[in-house]
Structure formats: structure tokens, C-alpha cells
Structure 1
Amino acid sequence: MEPRESWAALAAGGVAGVCVDLILFPLDTVKTRLQSPQGFRKAGGFRGIYAGVPSTAIGSFPNAAAFFITYEYVKSVLHCGSTSYLTPVTHMVAASFGEVVACLIRVPSEVIKQRAQVSPSSGTFRILSHTLYHEGIQGLYRGYKSTVLREIPFSLVQFPLWESLKDLWSWKQGHVVDSWQSAVCGAFAGGFAAAVTTPLDVAKTRIMLAKAGSTNASGNVLAALGGIWRTQGLSGLFAGVVPRMTAISLGGFIFLGTYEKTRQLLL
């Protein structure tokens, strides 16, 4: 991948990340509170739906930029000499590497954001200070494993589906899809991926919100899923699925459409 393409992917990814995270923040807050072990009302209901937004505003650009520059780089390396039937595998591997790198930035931001979302009376800086004082740096990475285990399956579904839908649409109309068409493909791919990975998202939320020293605080995803199944059943595993699907469908439209348009302009 040429330096110009690398910079375009980095900048376009960052811009897309900031746009989608800030526009859809209220839906994300509602989803987090629905998944909270204390329940939607006690977690804040519809009050203070922008609680935790500073953490998101700071983390969005580097997080999305890290994902896309890794995704495009790995994709370009694996595409060399690969056959067409291996293309979906290439997209899966590239997306997985992108998520592992991006989560190094995303998880600390996500931990602070989600704790602020369920404690709207506490400020972002206060929550950050409290986390560092009581748990240290490792507290900011609480849920790293569960986030990666959520994001990789999500990306394994979303990105190959997005790329395949774009290829199909391009073939049907006889030319490469426009940025708005890429956005539509992103919305379908994101919504479907969101639905099937909701249980992993619920487990990640419970781990991040768990009190230090509790069972869920250990970060064991299977234990968290088992606990949710035993206490709340299937409805608990799919708590917040509607706002999650809605947010990620809209997010896929904004995120991938903005990425494609910005990248085209920069190139």
C-alpha cells in the first residue's frame, strides 16, 4: 500500500469514527443502560443520555483510524497473489487484525464511557480518576478480551458481507458503487452482524460495569454469558438488541459511507 493510500485510510477512518460515534451516542447510551445489571431505570433511564461523551470524542478518531489503516494494509498484503474465492477470507483476516489493534485504543475509552453512561451524575474525569486510583491501568483494559471476542465475530460477518454486497451492486450496475451505495451496503451488513453478536456485547457490558473483585470483573466471557442465561434467559442475552441493531445499521451507513467518500476525496 502506497504512503498516500495509508494516509487516506487513516484520515478517512478517523473522520468516519468521530461522525458515527457522536451522532449515535444517545442510542448507545440507551443500549448500555438496557444491558446494565442494575436495570434501565436505575442506570439513568433517558436522563443524561450524553453522559460519557468526552471519552468517546477523544477516543473515536485514533480508534477508527487505527482500524482502517490496519484493515487496508493487511488487505493489500493478502490480496497479492490470492485467488478470487479467497477474497472473503482476506477481508475476515484483515478485519480481525484491525479490531485487535483498534481495541488497544477503544477499550479504555469504552470503559470510561460505559461507566459514565450508567452513572450520569459522575463526570468523565472523576470516573477516570476513580478507575486509575482503585484499579490502575489494568482497570482501563477491563473487558479487553471480551471486547475483542465481540468485535472479531462482528467484523467476520460485517466486512465480508459489506465487500460482497458492494461487489454485487457494482456488477449489477456495471461500475463501482458510489459512496452512498457503499453506505447502504454497510447498513445492511452492520445490522445483521449486530443482531447475531448481541450476546457477546451484553457480556462485554456486564464485565466492564462489574464491581472490582466480583466474578464478572475477572473478564471470563463464558462465565458472564452463563450467568446471564441462568438469571435472565434468552431475553437477557439479547438485551438491547433493537437499539443495538438500529444504532449499528445507522452507524454502518454513516461510518462506511463517510469512510468511502472521505477516502475518495483524499485520493
Structure 2
Amino acid sequence: MCCAGGSTEVCLLQPMMAFKNAMQEGRPIPRNPIQIYRGLTLNILSMAPITASQFGTNHVMQQLLGTGPKGTDLTGLARFQAATVAGMASGLIATPSELIIIQQQRSGRRLSEEMRLFLSKYKTTAIYRGLSCAAAREGLYAGGYLGLFPVFRSMLDEQGASPYTSLILAGIAGGTFGAVASHPFDTAKTRMQAFMYDKPEYRTMLSSLRTIVQEKGVLGLWSGILPRMTRIILATFILNYIRTNIVDTLEQQRAPREHVQGAPAL
């Protein structure tokens, strides 16, 4: 179900990614549906394992950081830390797929052709160009939608907010944090992957951040923030809604088994 949630989010919000990449690279914003959805196949194939890895690693980290039985009684800080580690780990999956998607959106080639040409032009290790930026971005992004979202929602529930109100407000808060805090790293990653080794000023994360500030000022680090923030806020709703249903389903399935195991023998 996590994989389905990630794939659903990608299909619905692919245009936001296309607009964001174009704005960060300085290209005209695509208007043709074919251009907008270029890279969708790889995006779907990668988003499922990215989402699953974030949910899975987050669960493991919560078990390690929790103070109660089976990793319960997590503080807000512990939830954020667990989610951040989960996001950083998923950068290993996100980096190669996003690199090819960006190259594909720039060239207009089919996925198979883009991958063949890329691997013939660059070393295999080049597929991880921008990894440090992706890890930093995914860490802060996951920290918002996996770490802060449940904290905000719990606070709103305690204040007597309705379930729908707490879902909406917590989603906006967690999504906004994830988008704003992580966007400079996303902008640097996009530039590094778009220009590859053609422009030495985008060789590393720090040099890329510095070059963007020199060219466009500090606000240049947040180029394309509006479409990405829109995507992240909506993705926070989608993914946490599915995550909540998964947890509820598992608890409902576990309850009858525990009741049977705890029943007295006749």
C-alpha cells in the first residue's frame, strides 16, 4: 500500500515536478502534456521503493529511538530524527532516477535511449551525481511529512480539532516545512544533474549553492518553490492518509490474533 501511495502521488503530481525542474534550470516552463509527463515511467518505478524505504527505515529508527515497549513513547524530536534518517537513506534510490529524469526532460529522448546514451558518455558512478544534495533534501522532506506531521496532528487533536481539520492543518504545516527547508538542496541537485560536468561551478554541493547565490541572490535557492511546495503538501496528505490506513488495518488484524492467543484454555 505504501508503494501504491507513492505511485499515485507521482501520477497526480508529475506536472509539479516538470514545472519545478524547468524553473530551477532556467528553461521555459513546459506546456505540452508530452513534455510535462516526460520521465513519468521512471518516476513511478522509483517512487514506490523510495516511499517504501522511507516508511520502513522510519519504523526501524522509531523502534531504536523509542523509550517504551516496541519503540513507543517517542518524543517529537525522536520522531523527527527517525524520519530524517529515513529520508537521507532514500537518497540512494532517488538520486539515479531523478538524474535520468532531468536529462530526459532536457533532451526529449525516450527512457531507454537516454539511459543508453548516458552510460556510454559517463562513468557508471556518475549516476550518483548530486547524492549529497539528494540525501540532505530527502532528510528534511521526510522529517516534515513523516516526523513533524504526526506531532502537529497530535497537538491539534489534543486541542479538540476535528480529524479532518487536524489532517489538513498538520499536512500544510509539515509539508511547508519540508518544502522550504529542503528546497535549496533540491535546487543545487537539479543544477548539478542538469549540467553534469559541463560547468565546473556546479561540481559540488557547496560550489553549486554558492554559484546560485552569486547568480540569482539568496532567493535563487528557492527557485521553483511554489510547484514543489504544492506537490509536497498534497503528497503529505496522500502518503499519511495511506500510512494511517495501513497502521489501522494491521492493528485490526493483530487484535483478533492477540485475543485468541490470550484466551484461556478449555
TM over 0.5: same fold? yes
Q: How does 1:1-267 map to 2 (within 5 A)?
A: 12-36=1-25, 39-41=26-28, 45-47=30-32, 48-81=35-68, 87-119=75-107, 121-173=108-160, 181-182=166-167, 184-212=169-197, 214-216=199-201, 218=203, 220-267=204-251
The Cα shift of 1:180 comes to 8.3
> 1:233 & 1:109 partners in 2: Cα distance?
29
| Length, aligned pairs only | 247
> 2:111 & 2:165 partners in 1: Cα distance?
35
Question: Cα 1:57–1:83, aligned 2, differ >3 Å: closer, same or farther?
Answer: closer
Runs of 4+ in 1 over 4 A off after TM superposition: 81-84, 177-181
> 1:258 & 1:165 partners in 2: Cα distance?
18
Amino acid at match of 1:258: I
Alpha-carbon RMSD:
2.5
> 2:199 & 2:102 partners in 1: Cα distance?
18
> 2:136 & 2:87 partners in 1: Cα distance?
10
The Cα shift of 1:261 comes to 2.1
Secondary structure of the structure 2 residue equivalent to 1:197: helix
Amino acid at match of 1:79: G
The Cα shift of 1:158 comes to 4.4
- Deviations along 1:220-245, whole A, 9 cap, x unmatched? 11110110111111342221111111
Gaps of 5+ in 2: 252-266
- Deviations along 1:16-41, whole A, 9 cap, x unmatched? 211112210111110011001xx232
8 A contact 1:186–1:257 mirrored in 2:
no
> 1:56 & 1:111 partners in 2: Cα distance?
11
Gaps of 5+ in 1: 1-11
8 A contact 1:183–1:257 mirrored in 2:
no
- Deviations along 1:80-111, whole A, 9 cap, x unmatched? 35996x71221122112212322222211111
8 A contact 1:207–1:216 mirrored in 2:
no
8 A contact 1:16–1:256 mirrored in 2:
no
Amino acid at match of 1:166: R
- Name the counterpart of 1:5: none
Amino acid at match of 1:208: Q
Question: Cα 1:180–1:127, aligned 2, differ >3 Å: closer, same or farther?
Answer: farther
Deviates more, 1:156-165 or 1:127-136: 156-165
> 1:231 & 1:217 partners in 2: Cα distance?
12
Report the identity percentage: 25
8 A contact 1:192–1:245 mirrored in 2:
no
8 A contact 2:145–2:236 mirrored in 1:
no
Secondary structure of the structure 2 residue equivalent to 1:230: helix
Deviates more, 1:239-248 or 1:128-137: 128-137
Question: Cα 1:192–1:205, aligned 2, differ >3 Å: closer, same or farther?
Answer: same
> 2:7 & 2:168 partners in 1: Cα distance?
16
- Name the counterpart of 2:257: none
> 1:129 & 1:255 partners in 2: Cα distance?
33
